[in-house]
Amino acid sequence: MDEKPFLEIDNLSRRFPSTEGGEPLTVFENLNLDIFKGEFVCILGHSGCGKSTVMNILAGLDKSTSGAVTMDNYEVSGPSLDQGVVFQNYSLLPWLSALKNVTFGVKARHPDWSKKQVLEHSYKYLKLVGLDDGAEKRKPSQLSGGMRQRVSIARAFAIQPKLLLLDEPFGALDALTRGTIQDELIRIWSGSDQTVFMITHDVDEAILLADRILLMTNGPYARIAESVVVDIERPRGRAEIVHDEGYYKIRNHLVTFLARRSKEMAGRLEDGVVVGQPVSVNPAKENLIKKEKTKTTPELVPVAS
Amino acid sequence: MLKSLNLRAALISITLLFALGGIWELATPKVKSATEMTEYEKLMGGADQEARVPPPSKIIKLAITELSDPFYDNGPNDKGIGIQIGYSLYRVLAGYFLAALIAIPFGFLIGMSPLAYKALDPFIQVLRPISPLAWMPLALFIIRDSQASAIFVIFICSIWPMLINTAFGVAGVRKDWINVARTHELGSLQTAYFVILPAAAPTILTGMRISIGIAWLVIVAAEMLVGGTGIGYYVWNEWNNLDLTSVIFSILVIGVVGMLLDAVFAKVQRAVQYQE
């Protein structure tokens, strides 16, 4: 990929002031990451490692302490319709029907549209998630968790953001529903050139959906240790993908990372070490490690914690 | 099952009503009719030495005559119950909506800004427990109009529950919903109108419902003080006339009107209620 990245994260740091006037808590520092147009990127790591903080900064809901995020040549300085967010708890407005929740987004995006246009556009996306059979007239409280998350996904896609951010969207769903909606998500995404950044805890989900999986070490001073390339051919199906020869290599790599290396690699890097883009790894092809983009050529020096 | 439960409850209510009314009726000794009285008894104003609480039958009789012509007007001291209720309702609603006009925007301000909350809280805490009637002398002196003073008293007593509930509801709006507004690039006014208002509406309506209840309680006392017109004045006037039948009748009317006011707000409250 020689083109200019669509999203650039440059030397991003986030520190929270400590409550008792001691050392501030550094969630992560000097984070660098490029994401290309149309990529589906998953970020994987333990709870509390700072994934959500990264996402909130990308969404503009949180501010970084230093560093910058540039999207499509503009700096991200606050929340906007260019970043669509799907939250884990759906964040639907409970006093509005499913349909009104989607039109809420569409109206915000296209204030000049007529009622009919708004409705047509909203129905198009409700149909994509299979919610156009009368269920769209119901309030979120009358919908199941899975249906609520579908509405939330429809709302996010309907505003056609430049970047779609998904914060563990399937975390609260049962396994069967999760599978169905993953399939729907991948189907909707395939028909678009939507760039997606998704947080997940689920290794299989990440492999099924992502082009690239970012592995984050435990915090504080978390960093993206590796960028695992998933080049399993698309379209992927949950039944077929497990028979792909690369699948278990990738899976083992991810599980090993989560179980062991995320902890071993945790901790602050020595002063003076500059971190560039995360190391690109392709476990399906015998761990051919190469660096994709050489802004700076860092050596990763893990400091035992 | 529910239907039969309602039915049974209604049956018990009616039985209780008749039983209590019956006991009351029977407990009231019959007053001899004028023809049976001796001359002396007539001169003394009846056979009974003591004035007694009138029986329900007399109250019902009065209620029928009063309610069949509620809007007659025979001068300052003899107006129909409908006119009196009308005056009271006018004062209550005028004071109440003036209070809402101030309380809801200020409640938004206090709920959205911790600074405004901290700065205004001492005032609210001191002013809130003051009995609304305590304002009456000051109001009469400053406003110099008894009608407007009564409205002011209603205003001052109904403002606090609305103010506090609005602030509480606005401050308690879930962060997620505010984030939805932010990610959809809604301005502050749009956020207030499309997200915070509907989210806080049930709490705001609770405050409004408490306020209307208090306002209806206070108007009776206020009108007893300012006099002239209104249901509160009517009660006091009938007491001065020693007409206990009318007093009891107006007490019942006050109860029924209060119930209807509450029912209206309960309906509005249900309309804005949502389930998370």
Q: Which residues of chain B are within 8 Å of residue A60 when distances are taken between CB atoms?
A: 182-183
Q: Is A77 on the interface with B (CB under 8 A)?
A: no
Min distance B268 CA to chain A CA atoms (Å): 14
* Cβ atoms of A95 and A177 closer than 8 Å: no
Q: Helices in chain B by DSSP H: which ranges? A: 2-27, 39-43, 56-68, 81-112, 114-127, 136-143, 146-171, 175-183, 188-191, 197-226, 231-240, 244-272
Amino acid letter, B4: S
Which residue among B177, B185, B272 sits closest to A93, beta carbon to beta carbon? B177
User: pLDDT: is A18 or B182 the higher one?
Assistant: B182
CB contact under 8 A, A94 and B275: yes
pLDDT, greater one: B227 or B186: B186
Rounded CA-CA distance B52/B59 in Å is: 13
| pLDDT at residue B42, as a whole number | 66
Q: Any chain B CB within 8 A of the CB of A79?
A: yes
pLDDT bin (cut points 50, 70, 90) of residue B118 is very high
Q: Among B183, B195, B201, whose Cβ lies nearest the Cβ of A85?
A: B183
Strand pairing class (A7-16; A25-35): antiparallel
How far apart CA A20 and CA A160 sit, in angstroms, is 43
Q: B201 contacts in A (CB within 8 Å)?
A: 95
Q: Is A88 within 8 Å of chain B by CB?
A: no
Of B180, B272, B274, the CB nearest to A91: B180
C-alpha dist (Å) from residue B268 to B106, B110, B209, B226: 22, 24, 10, 32
Task: From chain A, pick out residues whose CB is under 8 angstroms from the CB of B185.
Answer: 79-81, 108
CA distance A117 to A108: 13
User: Closest by alpha carbon to A100, among A92, A111, A91?
Assistant: A92
Q: Which stretch of A296-300, B50-54, B61-65, B210-214 has the lowest confidence by average pLDDT?
A: A296-300
Please indicate whether, in this complex, the C-beta atoms of B185 and A80 are within 8 angstroms of each other.
Answer: yes
| Interchain contact A61–B (C-beta under 8 A) | yes
Beta partners for residue A42, in sequence order: A198, A213
ipTM greater than 0.90, yes or no? no
Average pLDDT over residues B245-257: 95
Beta bridge partner(s), residue A83 = A163
Residue B223 has pLDDT above 60, yes or no: yes
Looking at beta carbons, which residues of chain B come within 8 Å of A95? 198-199, 201, 272, 274
Tell me if B274 and A139 make a contact (CB, 8 A cut-off). Answer: yes
**Among the listed residues A304, A300, A214, the one whose alpha carbon sits nearest the alpha carbon of residue A257:** A214
Place of tokens 């090993």: A256
The answer to whether residues A33 and A9 touch, using CB atoms and an 8 Å cutoff, is: yes
Q: In the prediction, which pLDDT does A295 show?
A: 45
Tell me which chain B residues have a C-beta less than 8 angstroms from the C-beta of A81.
183-185
Residue type (1 letter), A72:
D
Q: Do A81 and B185 touch (CB under 8 A)?
A: yes
Q: Which amino acid is at B221?
A: A
Interface of B with A (CB under 8 A): 176-177, 179-180, 182-186, 194-195, 198-199, 201, 272, 274-276
Q: How big is the A-B interface in CB pairs under 8 Å?
A: 54
Q: What is the pLDDT of residue A20?
A: 77
Q: Which of A61, A80, A139 sits opposite B179 (nearest CB)?
A: A61
Sheet containing strand A7-16, strands side by side: A25-35, A7-16, A66-71, A74-75
Give the whole-angstrom CA distance, residue A12 versus residue A31: 5
- pLDDT at position A291 is 43
- The answer to whether A100 and A63 are in contact (CB under 8 A) is no
Give the list of residues 6+ apart from residue B88 with CB closer than 8 angstroms, or none. Answer: B219, B220, B223, B230, B231, B232, B257
Chain B residues with CB-CB distance to A159 below 8 A: 184
DSSP conformation letters of A41-110: EEEE--TTSSHHHHHHHHHTSS--SEEEEEETTEE--S--TTEEEE-TT----TTS-HHHHHHHHHHHH-
Mean pLDDT of chain B: 90
Of B183, B201, B272, the CB nearest to A83: B183
A218 in Cβ contact with A304 (< 8 Å): no
Short-list A221, A206, A298, CA closest to A253:
A206
The span from the CA of A50 to the CA of A44, in Å, is: 10
Q: What is the pLDDT of residues A157-209, one digit of tens each?
A: 999 999 999 999 988 888 888 888 888 888 888 888 889 999 998 899 999 99
Residue from A56, A62, A95 whose CB has the most chain B CBs within 10 Å, to mutate: A95
CB contact under 8 A, A95 and B184: no
The strand pair at A66-71 and A74-75 is best described as antiparallel
Burial class of residue B159 (count of CB atoms within 10 Å of its CB; 0-12, 13-18, 19+): buried
pLDDT for A288 equals 47
Check residue A236 and give its pLDDT.
85
Which one-letter amino acid corresponds to residue B64? I
Residues of B in contact with A108 (CB under 8 A): 184-186
| Predicted local distance difference test score (pLDDT) of residue B64 | 92
Divide the 305 residues of chain A into consecutive groups of 10 and give the mean pLDDT of each group: 81 86 84 92 89 92 92 91 90 94 94 95 91 90 91 92 92 86 87 90 91 89 88 84 88 91 80 74 65 49 61
Nearest CA in chain A to B274: A95
Whether A159 and chain B come into contact, CB under 8 Å, resolves to yes
Distance, CA of B106 to CA of B162 (rounded, Å)? 10
Select from A85, A56, A81, A52 the least CA-distant residue to A69. Answer: A56
What letter does residue B75 receive in the DSSP assignment?
S
Spatial separation of the C-alpha atoms in residues A218 and A264, rounded to whole Å: 9
Determine, for residues B199 and A95 on separate chains, whether the beta-carbon distance falls below 8 Å. yes
What pLDDT score was predicted for residue B32?
Answer: 58
Backbone angles phi, psi at B246, to 5 degrees: -65, -35
What integer pLDDT is reported at residue A293 of this predicted model? 44
Nearest CA in chain A to B184: A81
Give B159-178 as a DSSP string.
HHHHHHHHHHHHHTS-HHHH
- Residue B259: pLDDT above 90? yes
| CATH class belonging to B54-67+80-272 | mainly alpha
Model-level pTM? 0.83
- Within 8 A of A139 by CB-CB distance, chain B residues are 274-275
Handedness of CA B30, B33, B38, B43 (dihedral sign): positive
- Chain A's closest residue to B197, CA to CA, is A95
B contacts of A93 (beta carbons < 8 Å): 177, 180, 195, 198-199
pLDDT at position B45: 60
pLDDT at B49 over 80: no
DSSP bridge partners of A74 = A71
Count of CB atoms within 10 A of residue A290's CB?
9
**How far, in whole angstroms, is CA B138 from its chain's centroid?**
23
Q: Give the closest of A59, A89, A141 to B275, CB-based.
A: A141
pLDDT attached to residue A173: 84
